[in-house]
Amino acid sequence: MLDIHQFTYGEDNYGVLLHCRNSGDTAMIDAGDAYAGELALERTGWSLSQIWITHHHDDHTAGLAVLKAKHNAHVIGPATRGKPLAGVDQQVDDGEHFSFASREVKVLTTPGHTLDMTNFYLPHEKLLFTGDTLFAMGCGRLFEGDAQMMWASLSKLMALPSDTTIYCSHEYTATNATFALSVDPDNQMLIDRARQVTDLRASGKPTVPTNMSLEKATNPFLRVGDGAIKTAINMEDKSEVEVFAKLRKMKDNFKG
Ligand SMILES: [Zn+2]
């Protein structure tokens, strides 16, 4: 069994520690803040053996050098075409596997937010780390890739089992819910979920992790084939990619 400890840093970032009681191995997913990472390790009493980097943005890598040096951790990160990300020991590409605590970790590249975006999936545990690709009721902004690329990436994640548990890197859920309701106002599951999110946030609780079946039912970016959403944004006879591109643009300009 794996223990999971989620911690916060920055304005709205989540970091995660993954720990195996049998082997004692511990992985940290992303290393955006060395201080917050250290605090999480102190609180849990776990000793860091691996760091998995999802993408090159500062809020995912700024603490890497310090954490790696202090714990002598093995760092796994995106396969880049040019020189590797500073501090990455092992570059991994789409479809590859590596081992953590005698378990298989599958690498899924999901470009769109960045070109190097790398997600990690543990098939046995049905556990997925989506970085800034898939958020609760949302998805990452397109900084480096385009809509077609991001839609292909999200489709890749949607092919995973519906009971997959999803950890994403930001607490954006409340604003994502407001946007989702604006384009999918009659979706009862979404209405119910938005209410739960308001309650959770009011009591200072995280809305992450989420799971794939909930996302498929309430995340507009995964529901671009849905007739009601298409009608709501005047895209009835458009393709999934076109609907996705329009939703993403609307969200970029959305003032909830
Ligand atoms: Zn990012």
From ligand 1's centre to the CA of 228, what distance in Å?
Answer: 30
Do residues 22 and 130 share a domain? yes
The lowest-confidence range among 79-83, 87-91, 103-107 is: 79-83
* Mean pLDDT computed over 211-219: 98
Do residues 126 and 233 share a domain? no
From ligand 1's centre to the CA of 54, what distance in Å?
Answer: 9
Q: Is the pLDDT of residue 101 over 90?
A: yes
Q: Coil, strand or helix: which one is 256?
A: coil
Q: Which residues surround ligand 1, an ion (CB under 5 A)?
A: 57, 132
From ligand 1's centre to the CA of 57, what distance in Å?
Answer: 5
pLDDT digits (tens, 9 = 90+) for 117-164: 999 999 999 999 999 999 999 999 999 999 999 999 999 999 999 999
Number of structural domains found in the chain = 2
Q: What mean pLDDT, rounded, does the chain reach?
A: 97
Q: Tell me 56's DSSP state.
A: S
Do residues 147 and 224 share a domain? no
Q: Is the pLDDT of residue 109 over 90?
A: yes
From ligand 1's centre to the CA of 188, what distance in Å?
Answer: 31
From ligand 1's centre to the CA of 167, what distance in Å?
Answer: 14
Do residues 95 and 16 share a domain? yes
From ligand 1's centre to the CA of 186, what distance in Å?
Answer: 31
Structural domain boundaries, residue 201: 175-252
Do residues 31 and 96 share a domain? yes
Residues 6+ apart with CB under 8 A from 137: 173, 176, 177, 179, 180, 190, 193, 197, 215, 218, 219, 220
Decide: 145 and 114 in contact? Cβ < 8 Å.
yes
Do residues 6 and 58 share a domain? yes
Residue 127, judged by CB atoms within 10 A of its CB (0-12, 13-18, 19+), counts as buried
Do residues 111 and 200 share a domain? no
From ligand 1's centre to the CA of 205, what distance in Å?
Answer: 23
From ligand 1's centre to the CA of 201, what distance in Å?
Answer: 22
Domain boundary among 140, 167, 194: 167
pLDDT digits (tens, 9 = 90+) for 41-83: 999 999 999 999 999 999 999 999 999 999 999 999 999 877 7
From ligand 1's centre to the CA of 241, what distance in Å?
Answer: 22
If you write DSSP's letter for every residue of 219-240 in order, what string do you get?
A: -GGG-TT-HHHHHHTT-TT--H
The whole-angstrom separation of Cα 232 and Cα 71 is 51
Do residues 159 and 192 share a domain? no
Decide: 108 and 150 in contact? Cβ < 8 Å.
no
Do residues 35 and 115 share a domain? yes
Q: Tell me 35's DSSP state.
A: H
Least Cα distance to 121 among 152, 74, 159 occurs for 159
Take residue 46 and report the two structure tokens written for it: 């776990």
Least Cα distance to 136 among 21, 226, 12 occurs for 12
Decide: 158 and 151 in contact? Cβ < 8 Å.
no
From ligand 1's centre to the CA of 223, what distance in Å?
Answer: 23
Do residues 158 and 180 share a domain? no
pLDDT digits (tens, 9 = 90+) for 229-244: 999 999 999 999 999 9
CATH number, domain containing residue 104: 3.60.15.10
Decide: 24 and 47 in contact? Cβ < 8 Å.
yes
Do residues 57 and 162 share a domain? yes
Domain boundary among 148, 167, 186: 167
